[in-house]
């Protein structure tokens, strides 16, 4: 080595690198601590919004129960006492909702809860004065509450998206800091500590390749990090950062999956909810109109379910709902959309399916349910739990998605009228009307 080369090499000092490393370490630790605090606040906000969403669903269930009690047995004193207790419970919960909505910056929820308090107070007054409650007051509250629940679900999704975005930003900041450290200190480390620079050089190469071929999914990115980086090649700090990034990715993926299921699934039966069913129905009817195809739907209702609930309790009724939902899922095809329409009523959308095939599927489903042994079903009239179903097909029996649902519901009503435990297609009603006209 020449004398000048030796002089140049000896003039290099580790002190600036050491100070730079300490500064970078403080920046990284401070940034990580700040991010953890920020991410924790975001996560707390998302969790609180999700709890509010679930509580709103319970609030709606109680409103629906009050509506059913008023429509079925409004004059019985014990029913009125139970209705009064439920209304008072809703009043207490609405006050709690207002404080939580203000804390979580949800003005629509707070506004609706204030108006609902007035409506609930009027209901109590009407009951005390022995006046009838307006027929449309509770259904109107339920419709307004559905909009609030939808907005809350959107808030939950946005809150989780913020957590996801924060984690993604932190991931790339960490990578950027690591790259800056490697680039700025790499030449000196290679010159003075050749044995140390090898694993760092390999890490830089792998990060560069990962950055050039970044997968679309954040989950795939985490998997690539775990697969390509061997723990024995790097320091414990790098491994901890890698593990933290992977855990963040996995947590966000899990929470997003849960939120997606919560947004489109009915919690009790694990079938699709009405909103998801309607969205698919609108799209499939539009597709059928464009390509001259057929779409069928069925509306199904459990026969004498109220009598079963009264005799065995709501817990047994919930078990029946869950089992019937399981049978419906098992018997539906992959392209079908089974949903809980409300209460003990179910619906199934059959894309690209004519009336004959739809009736065969529904009739098979009816027979399977009739043969299924349910707890204490022998005590019911007829000795078994059954379903009645109505079927309608587009474009044979309807001009749009809305009339398709209504006609299937009319066919279901006719099945109930004519003896239950049967499947009625809407064309049978049209034929009867034609014969009566003649």
Cβ atoms of 227 and 234 closer than 8 Å:
no
Reply yes or no on whether 344 is catalytic. Answer: yes
Q: From CA 186, how far away is CA 191, in angstroms rounded?
A: 9
The CA-atom distances, in angstroms, between 60 and each of 68, 87, 315, 438 are 12, 12, 19, 47
Query: Which among 108, 322, 334, 344 is annotated as catalytic?
Result: 344
Active site residues: 344
């Amino acid at each position: 080595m020449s004398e000048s080369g030796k002089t140049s090499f000896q003039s290099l000092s580790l002190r600036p690198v050491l100070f730079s490393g300490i500064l970078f370490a403080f920046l990284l630790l401070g940034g990580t601590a700040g991010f953890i605090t920020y991410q924790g606040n975001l996560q707390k906000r998302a969790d609180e919004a999700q709890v509010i969403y679930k509580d709103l669903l319970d609030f709606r269930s109680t409103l629906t129960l009050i509506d059913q009690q008023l429509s079925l047995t409004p004059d019985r004193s014990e029913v009125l006492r139970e209705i009064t207790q439920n209304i008072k419970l809703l009043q207490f919960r609405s006050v709690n909702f207002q404080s939580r909505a203000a804390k979580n910056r949800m003005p629509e929820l707070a506004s609706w809860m204030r108006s609902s308090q007035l409506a609930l107070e009027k209901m109590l007054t009407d009951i005390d004065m022995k006046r009838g409650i307006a027929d449309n007051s509770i259904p109107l509250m339920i419709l307004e509450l559905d909009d609030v629940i939808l907005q809350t679900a959107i808030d939950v999704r946005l809150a989780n998206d913020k957590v996801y975005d924060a984690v993604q930003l932190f991931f790339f900041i960490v990578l950027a800091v690591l790259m800056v450290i490697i680039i700025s200190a790499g030449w000196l480390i290679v010159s003075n500590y050749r044995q140390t620079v090898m694993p760092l050089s390999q890490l830089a190469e792998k990060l560069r390749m990962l950055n050039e071929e970044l997968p679309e999914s954040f989950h795939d990115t985490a998997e690539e990090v775990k697969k390509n980086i061997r723990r024995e090649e790097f320091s414990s700090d790098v491994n901890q950062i890698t593990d933290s990034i992977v855990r963040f990715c996995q947590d966000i993926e899990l929470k997003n999956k849960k939120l997606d299921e919560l947004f489109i699934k009915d919690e009790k039966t694990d079938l699709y909810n009405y909103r998801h069913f309607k969205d698919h129905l609108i799209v499939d009817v539009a597709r059928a109109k464009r390509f001259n195809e057929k779409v069928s739907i069925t509306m199904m209702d459990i026969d004498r379910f109220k009598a079963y609930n009264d005799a065995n309790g709501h817990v047994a009724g919930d078990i029946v709902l869950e089992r019937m939902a399981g049978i419906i899922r098992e018997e539906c095809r992959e392209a079908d959309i089974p949903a809980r329409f409300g209460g003990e009523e179910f619906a199934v959308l059959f894309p690209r399916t004519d009336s004959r095939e739809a009736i065969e599927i529904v009739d098979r489903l009816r027979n399977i349910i009739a043969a299924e042994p349910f707890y204490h079903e022998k005590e019911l009239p007829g000795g078994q739990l059954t379903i009645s179903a109505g079927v309608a097909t587009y474009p044979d029996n309807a001009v749009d998605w809305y009339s398709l649902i209504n006609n299937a519901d009319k066919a279901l009503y006719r099945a109930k009228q004519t003896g239950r435990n049967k499947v009625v297609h809407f064309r049978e009603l049209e034929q009867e009307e034609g014969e009566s006209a003649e």
